[in-house]
Structure 1
């Protein structure tokens, strides 16, 4: 038995089997993976890690399992799945996913199968059952990776706490208390609709304030370009990205001359690129068209801009925003014996769906020394936005 003092939830208790899992190198690596990547360059307090988030998710999963009155073995399974759910994250968390083909969920499954984690789990559980839960299959999977899951609850609370941004404060107590299992379906009771709306609002406001903050997007674009070049030169192995931590990538990049080393020095010293163009998605007739732009057309735009201002093509970055999806809108809600999607009974949720492009924009970044030349360009002429 072991206690871990968590900044958000207080004392968290782990049994001997859970300690055995968390003490593996695969889970200890998560202590060296920042939860919010380079967001600490915007919010200096955002230095929390995937490890903290994983044990916090375990705690909330346990609270939900108790509320659902799951049996002891299933309760233990859910706790262990929560500990492992982010084990496959690459360096700087989601930031690295833009440069590799596999998602962190796929890499987590691969890691569990190939490492001692699978052997340890098999002492108590079916490894295939664990993988199903982690990937979000069935009602147990929806607890960890669903519309209103404990993963999301923890990261909103945690990210809000460490950035100092108040928007992520949500009513976890009411959410958990109003969730129930019926006919192999994880449902939200109608009494919990207001808490669910609050969670959606929290995510909506956290996007422009934290996750898609304009400076965070610049930093992330710079790192992804740097990481992409490291992968091109085969200085790191894309297929084993889950074995690297943040320092591994930083050290590798610092040791390389040219563009890669230059970008890492800029990140080290917060000498960031400048945003020279922004196209608000709600200013165009069909915002969805932005997400249809292909890599070839984006690269052509970057090359053409670079040629016109005399810069290296790798220094021009056209950044498509993250698609503002809110899956909580489809959360099944039990109302007077009927099961309906949250979006069908909440005017607020429908309004958020209409407003989701309000803060999203396509941006172009480049080094400050090219800003003056860039100011003379009409950037829309370079962008091949589908009709």
Structure 2
């Protein structure tokens, strides 16, 4: 291992480390490479991406190649046909942007901050590998499926990424120092609940580049916002290059020029728009609710959730699990197969209506359940059961719940100024929102003939909770009776 990874101590002292000659095994120093040792990959968003030797070792593993079979936006492509991009190209894009961020910091503050090639390599690898722990259909597996089969589940794709990274290094004998590997894993989980970044004493700012737990500005968002907007045909005027060029480290914290305040606000509002119009689109959620029902039905016989405990098994799960269910000879999977066939025939759960939780009720809001809907039925031609109703509770915010994420960001007046300061909304514009979170409740009827009964029960629930119907409009009578 020694001939591949340079001692961290030497780099910390600021020594200029010469490029290691190509050894018999074809190895290079950690973070050191030239044009002969890189591989060019063309990305339709960022153009050419240069993969260094160590990055190529990870990319060429079967665990990383699995990302080609994980769609970035899960089932969204069934509503937005262009959303067929995968976690594979997103990971390459974050690797590229992480490199750009580090190159800019090294160019302008390299000597001041002690940034060396080891730091650059580590941050880039964290960007490359940050999503290897995602399950089938991306966030659906983590936030919808696992909580259904394991109530109270604390499983996270960041934690699985760290576990899987250890497995990859051991299985494929990738030559990387344990200390460097540890830092990469800490950077990957830096925005999660299990983050250890707050305890880091040196170069804390490096942990905010890929997954920023302090204020939410990171290159992961830069890539997926641009990539998702492009794939779904959603306009975006957010320019990530302005933030990459203007970022500056002050007091171990990444700060931005005060003039870029609105550019940062566009980052968060564009993300919120994507959640509202794409990620939580009413029909996208209908498809997701159906697939989760199918996966839950199949879980007992296929043991899908059991794979989430072991990285050796987990990496074998991807979006092709749907075909595995369809082709399984097991008769017990009949119901799961029927649900998947309904999705293919576009016989989706019928969207009845939605309402936004009143702003003054957000603090005490609890997720609405199918039981709440059923218990609100007063009179109807049919008697609803919980299995007849599906409810989607959607939360849309600017990354920090009800808090404004910009309040946790520090700015500076110009590059000759050494003072950093926060900026409050009222100092910029009175047109900026005064509330930073939406909670939306959507209700679906699993059978077409139940639309009217579910709609009426949903309206009764609103009257019981708020004394009035808070939905945007009444469910059209034509829609209620269309299937009766």
**What TM-score results when the alignment is normalised by the length of structure 2?**
0.71
Q: What is the alpha-carbon distance in structure 1 between the residues aligned to residue 90 and residue 241 of structure 2?
A: 18
1:356 aligns with 2:437: yes
Matched residues in 2 for 1:163 and 1:181: separation? 34
Q: Which residue of 2 aligns with 1:374?
A: 454
Of structures 1 and 2, the one scoring higher in RCO (CA 8 A, sep 6+) is 1
Counterpart of 2:142 in structure 1 is 97
- 1:281 lines up with 2:357 in the alignment: yes
More helix by share: 1
In the alignment, what sits opposite 2:119?
A: 74
Structure 1 residues without counterparts, runs of 5 or longer: none
User: Deviation above 6 Å: which 4+ runs of structure 1?
Assistant: 305-308, 382-387
Give the match for residue 127 of structure 1: 181
Measured against aligned partners, the alpha-carbon deviations of 1:237-292 in whole angstroms (never above 9, x if no partner) come to 2424443010024422563534322221122232211111312224x6313433x3
In structure 2, C-alpha distance between the alignment counterparts of 1:348 and 1:28, rounded to whole Å: 46
Larger Cα Rg: Structure 1 or Structure 2?
Answer: 2
**1:24-83 CA deviation, whole Å, 9 max, x = no partner?**
111111110000011101110100000110000111111100111032221111111111
Cα pair 2:275 2:396 within 8 Å, conserved: no
Decide whether the 8 Å contact of 1:274 with 1:368 is kept in 2: yes
Relative to structure 1, the CA distance from residue 191 to residue 115 in structure 2 (aligned partners, 3 Å threshold; closer, same or farther) is same
Q: Does residue 157 in structure 1 map to residue 226 in structure 2? A: yes
Question: Does the CA-based 8 Å contact 2:63-2:132 persist in structure 1?
Answer: yes
Counterpart for residue 47 of structure 1:
84
SS state at 2:217 partner: coil
Return the alpha-carbon distance in structure 2 between the equivalents of residues 239 and 261 of structure 1: 25
Ranges in structure 2 where 5+ consecutive residues have no aligned partner: 1-37, 107-114, 147-152, 191-196, 198-203, 468-484
- Structure 2 distance, partners of 1:117, 1:141, is 24
1:186-233 per-position Cα deviation (integer Å, ceiling 9, x unaligned) = 222323223212212212322221122222122222222322333355
Q: 1:207 to 1:376 in 2, by over 3 A?
A: closer
Alignment partner, residue 421 of structure 2:
340
**Residues 310 and 160 of structure 1: CA distance in aligned 2, closer, same or farther (over 3 Å):** same
TM-score, normalised with respect to structure 1: 0.87
Contact 2:255 2:412 in 1 (8 A): no
- Give the deviation of 1:318 after TM superposition: 1.4
Pairwise CA RMSD = 3.0
Deviations 1:141-170 (A, max 9, x none): 210011110000000000011111113x42
Contact 2:371–2:386 (Cα < 8 Å) also in 1 = no
Judging changes above 3 Å, is the alpha-carbon distance between structure 1 residues 141 and 343 closer, same or farther for their aligned structure 2 residues?
A: farther
Query: Is 344-353 or 317-326 further displaced after alignment?
Result: 344-353
2: distance between equivalents of 1:349 and 1:96? 40
